[in-house]
Amino acid sequence: MNEIFSKGRERYLLKNKEVEKGCPSMIERFFEARNVVVIGVSHNPKKVGHVIFRNLVRKFVGRVCGVNQGTKPILGRKLYTSIADAKNVELAVVAVKAEKVPKVVEGCGKVGIKNVIVISGGFSELGEEGKKLEQELLKICKKHGIRLLGPNTLGIYVPKYGLDTTFLSDEKICKPRHGKVAILTQSGAIGCLLLDMLGKANVGVSKFISYGNAIDVNATELLEFLGKDKDTGVIVWFFEGVKSRRFAEVLQEVSKKKSIIVLKGGKTKEGSRAASSHTASMAGDYELFRAMFKQYGVLEAENLEELLDYVKAFATQPLPTGRKVCILTDAGGFGVLASDVCQKLGLELKLPSKRLIEKLSKVMPRHIVLSNPLDVTGDADAERYETCLKEVVKEYDAILLIMLFQLPMLGYEVVERVARVWRKVKKPIVICSHGSRQEVFQKFEACGIPVYPSPERAVKALAALYQRFEFVSSKGKIC
């Protein structure tokens, strides 16, 4: 443990030297802080302040200290009774009751801390009284030149440095490893779910940012930061409303460089009402957002599942360079459903070439259907899939593999056979499979090939990849 810690730390300090060469922006400093204090550390292991402290003590490669009213150590760490005693702190994470927050932030300002995350809820989302608290907080920030993330937020998680300010226990959720997807979310709950799901699907995350009520640092600034962040390749964003005027301009710029996938909450009247008592934001006119997303090449998910489905594809697959899809299936009915969706979403089910048919008919049993869908039928084994796949990738832009592991002949060795072909061709391959046994899906996703539980969802993911290709190629840029 200590070794990993010091190794991580070494890497980390090196990285920070690089940062010092440039001039990290005030936003960047949240994610590059090496000296963090948690204010409001609790002895009760279920309480927010305890979980945050524990997450940092266990994983953070930088230094972490805690502030608490008592002096009894927590998790073997000595605590300060006042923020005034903590030296060289760059980032403060505040988890005290709402009414105490202004005083605490004032204290941070006095010792020169410039980045503060306020986890505590109980502000404008509860009405007038909370709004006043927020105004007070803002004044304090301006006075001391503090940038504040929150309140009413989970804060940030940077897997690369183990910098985890969320109050989500590692025992209860499966947090993702380091990778290229950034999660930006207005809602902590949705963020928590996204973390858990991406962790489970073996999708790596560069930065997780929950911004909550966003009284100071807002979504537009964070988007702009992620647009420049070298570790981030894909941006996933859940929001209910935005406040900044620069929003449209920033969105357009970032989308030119990186794939952005959004989900908007509060699309209807009822939803907007719910949103306002949630993070106290105005949800705005949904139709305007929709038009903007379309024009700027931002991919909009209809719902949470679609969002996750898209992320899985964008995080792992290259963009297809054309719209010719081959469906390789062992189940006729699934092939039919997948064909419907391909047609609906503008993907082309080109029939196999004469050459391909000749080649495969020599080695395949008579009863397989050499069309598109290419039906390898219910008695297909791993070898039959591999043989077909190897030929098919040569003349298609993307492949949907449908596999029923309920059938007697298909074994898990198909995973390695498919992965081998995929690693060579650099074309998108997605799997559709479903059933009570999850272990084979995990094997596929551990190899970097996403699995979808229905033909519809698998085809939608392919169509989204193609849509992005069309956007970037029409702009003369490749992502």
Subset of 401-440 contacting a copy of itself (CB under 8 A): 404-409, 434-437
Cβ(67)–Cβ(111) below 8 Å: no
Distance (Å, whole) CA 75 – CA 58: 10
- Choose, by CB under 8 A, the member of 167, 225, 310, 396 that binds a copy of itself: 167
- Choose, by CB under 8 A, the member of 4, 13, 84, 189 that binds a copy of itself: 189
Closest CA to 299 of 249, 334, 258: 258
With H, G, I as helix, E, B as strand and everything else as coil, classify residue 180.
Answer: strand
With H, G, I as helix, E, B as strand and everything else as coil, classify residue 174.
Answer: coil
Edge-to-edge strand ranges of the sheet holding 147-149? 79-80, 63-67, 35-39, 91-94, 115-118, 147-149
Strand-pairing partners, residue 328, are 374, 401
332 near a copy of itself, rule: CB under 8 A: yes
Distance (Å, whole) CA 31 – CA 91: 9
Nearer to a copy of itself, 146 or 311 (CB): 311
- The answer to whether the bond into 45 is cis (omega within 30° of 0) is no
Closest approach, Cβ 472 to a copy of itself, in A, equals 27
- Could you tell me the two tokens for 295? 């024009």
Closest approach, Cβ 324 to a copy of itself, in A, equals 13
Site string for a copy of itself, 376-395 (x = CB under 8 A): -xx-----------------
Nearer to a copy of itself, 84 or 174 (CB): 174
26-34, 58-66, 108-116, 331-339 -> range binding a copy of itself (CB under 8 A):
331-339
The three-point CA angle 314-320-326 to 5° equals 110
- Choose, by CB under 8 A, the member of 31, 339, 352, 444 that binds a copy of itself: 339
Token look-up 């969802």 returns: 457
Q: Give start and end residues of each alpha helix (H) in 33-127.
A: 48-59, 101-110
Closest approach, Cβ 255 to a copy of itself, in A, equals 23
125 near a copy of itself, rule: CB under 8 A: yes
- Choose, by CB under 8 A, the member of 19, 26, 75, 126 that binds a copy of itself: 126
Closest approach, Cβ 219 to a copy of itself, in A, equals 14
Q: Hey, which residues between 70 and 89 contact a copy of itself (CB under 8 A)? A: none
59-67, 138-146, 249-257, 374-382 -> range binding a copy of itself (CB under 8 A):
374-382
- Choose, by CB under 8 A, the member of 26, 144, 178, 196 that binds a copy of itself: 196
The three-point CA angle 104-109-112 to 5° equals 130
Token look-up 């503090």 returns: 146
Q: Hey, which residues between 261 and 300 contact a copy of itself (CB under 8 A)? A: 265-271, 273-275, 277-279
Tell me how many residues contact a copy of itself (CB under 8 A).
82
Closest approach, Cβ 102 to a copy of itself, in A, equals 18
Q: Hey, which residues between 200 and 229 contact a copy of itself (CB under 8 A)? A: 200
Q: Hey, which residues between 89 and 118 contact a copy of itself (CB under 8 A)? A: none
Cβ(397)–Cβ(469) below 8 Å: no
333 near a copy of itself, rule: CB under 8 A: yes
Distance (Å, whole) CA 454 – CA 309: 11
- Choose, by CB under 8 A, the member of 193, 292, 357, 419 that binds a copy of itself: 193
- Choose, by CB under 8 A, the member of 305, 318, 421, 425 that binds a copy of itself: 305
DSSP annotation of 238 reads E
259-267, 287-295, 382-390, 415-423 -> range binding a copy of itself (CB under 8 A):
259-267
Closest approach, Cβ 465 to a copy of itself, in A, equals 19
Cβ(55)–Cβ(173) below 8 Å: no
Per-residue burial over 193-226, b = 16 or more CB atoms within 10 Å of its CB, e = otherwise: bbbbbbbbbbbbbbbbbbbbbbbbbbbbbbbbbb
453 near a copy of itself, rule: CB under 8 A: yes
23-31, 99-107, 196-204, 309-317 -> range binding a copy of itself (CB under 8 A):
196-204
Strand-pairing partners, residue 184, are 209, 237
Q: Hey, which residues between 34 and 63 contact a copy of itself (CB under 8 A)? A: 46-48, 51
With H, G, I as helix, E, B as strand and everything else as coil, classify residue 26.
Answer: coil
- Choose, by CB under 8 A, the member of 330, 391, 397, 445 that binds a copy of itself: 330
240 near a copy of itself, rule: CB under 8 A: yes
186 near a copy of itself, rule: CB under 8 A: yes
Cβ(67)–Cβ(81) below 8 Å: yes
Closest approach, Cβ 238 to a copy of itself, in A, equals 7
- What's the one-letter identity of residue 377? T
Distance (Å, whole) CA 398 – CA 450: 13
